[in-house]
Structure 1
């Protein structure tokens, strides 16, 4: 029984790391969540209210600050309602930093219309994790919802290695 309890956190983290995407080509188009014909339809699924809002958040870690301008959509507002947060982030495939939220967001079939690009602050709905893209990501699934865009400090994520604690709070 103790072995099972010890393995549970490792299994959860393994699934989380595999959640955002895979840059391997061994996944079928269905596994990745979209096909070539589906990609053109994804832009139509993006909610019209995905416009920049006046709300900004600050991510603080290792004496550095990153500012994110949030989009105005229901899932971004749901995330903002959880703030302030203190989360542990880690690197994923040398393109993004990820952290699992303790309380999942309810995407209600909202999907991203674009592939993530450098500076996107996103939520991967199947596994409930935040993703901060410090490089572009061509093979992400359509289960990735862009919550906002980094306005300043995105370079602070490129050279940080290992796990690190981030405090996330609203900026007045």
Structure 2
């Protein structure tokens, strides 16, 4: 599953994993979000509805470019720096191109859509 994140400065493309959480995320698209800086490591935004955690591991260690769902807070997280193992973090996919656009400081207004493959 491919998605596009439209943001001022250019489009960002990503590939989502085939898991229950990612499928649930796609069902909410298209969506408009404000991505805010968090810990100088990621951009985050609360999702309109929490995603399924069925079959998800207890957590994982995110790397640069990972798109994830942080179940305890109900938020989307896009990592522009690597981070430590985090309980409750579920990998949704990975950025294919344009990560530098999301790594800029400050809040970003984005629209996320599913791309027909």
Output the TM-score relative to the length of structure 2: 0.92
Q: Verify: 1:60 aligned to 2:6, yes or no.
A: yes
Structure 1 gap ranges (5+): 1-54
Name the counterpart of 2:90. 145
Higher RCO (C-alpha 8 Å, min separation 6):
2
Name the counterpart of 2:40. 94
- Distance in 2 separating the partners of 1:168 and 1:119: 16
- Distance in 2 separating the partners of 1:146 and 1:67: 16
Instruction: Flag the 1:112–1:168 CA change in 2: closer, same or farther, 3 A.
Output: farther
Number of matched pairs: 116
Instruction: Flag the 1:157–1:112 CA change in 2: closer, same or farther, 3 A.
Output: farther
Is contact 2:66–2:78 with CA below 8 Å preserved after alignment?
A: yes
Q: Which is higher, the Rg of structure 1 or of structure 2?
A: 1
Output the TM-score relative to the length of structure 1: 0.64
The root-mean-square deviation of aligned C-alpha atoms, in Å, is: 1.4
Structure 2 gap ranges (5+): none
Higher strand share: 2
